[in-house]
Amino acid sequence: KGAKVEFQDALLLLSEKKISSVQSIIPALELANQQRKPLVIIAEDIDGEALSTLVVNRLKIGLQVAAVKAPGFGDNRKSTLTDMAIASGGIVFGDDANLVKLEDVNINDLGKVGEVVITKDDTLL
């Protein structure tokens, strides 16, 4: 049936924008590591150095981390991310209404979900 990732008691980082820089995600990775919880990043896209950093952290320190492209486009994507933030108790980074920078993330900005199942085609929270 293909690759599947399952996490229990995970933290959610929601971003309306593309994440490319390492500096922007290191604070969230450190928070997840301190809390000893898996981290799921849902963003418009994640690429370049940021993606490499996720892979290295997963391999080197065994950090449970996964990145998923946010569903939909434009306003539809924005409202889906907002719904996820409300349901999980987190915030959406990159949203015009929220001026917190990704680099300044604190534990209260991350959503919390009981279970996450990620396959090639679907992500269930």
CATH of the domain at 10: 3.50.7.10
Residue range 28-34: average pLDDT? Answer: 95
Instruction: Determine the angle formed by the axes of helices 48-60 and 22-35, rounding to 10 degrees.
Output: 30
Contact status, residue 118 vs residue 5, Cβ threshold 8 Å: yes
Q: Of the candidates 40, 121, 119, which has an alpha carbon nearest to the alpha carbon of residue 85? A: 40
pLDDT value for 99: 78
pLDDT value for 1: 55
pLDDT tens sequence across 82-116 = 999 999 999 999 977 777 899 999 999 999 999 99
Q: Of the candidates 105, 122, 75, 124, which has an alpha carbon nearest to the alpha carbon of residue 14? A: 105
Residue range 3-27: average pLDDT? Answer: 94
Residue range 26-51: average pLDDT? Answer: 94
The number of folded domains in the chain is: 1
pTM of the model: 0.92
Residue range 59-73: average pLDDT? Answer: 91
Residues 6+ apart with CB under 8 A from 65: 29, 32, 38, 39, 40, 41, 54, 57, 58
pLDDT value for 80: 96
Residue range 7-18: average pLDDT? Answer: 96
pLDDT value for 118: 94
Q: Which domain holds residue 114?
A: 4-124
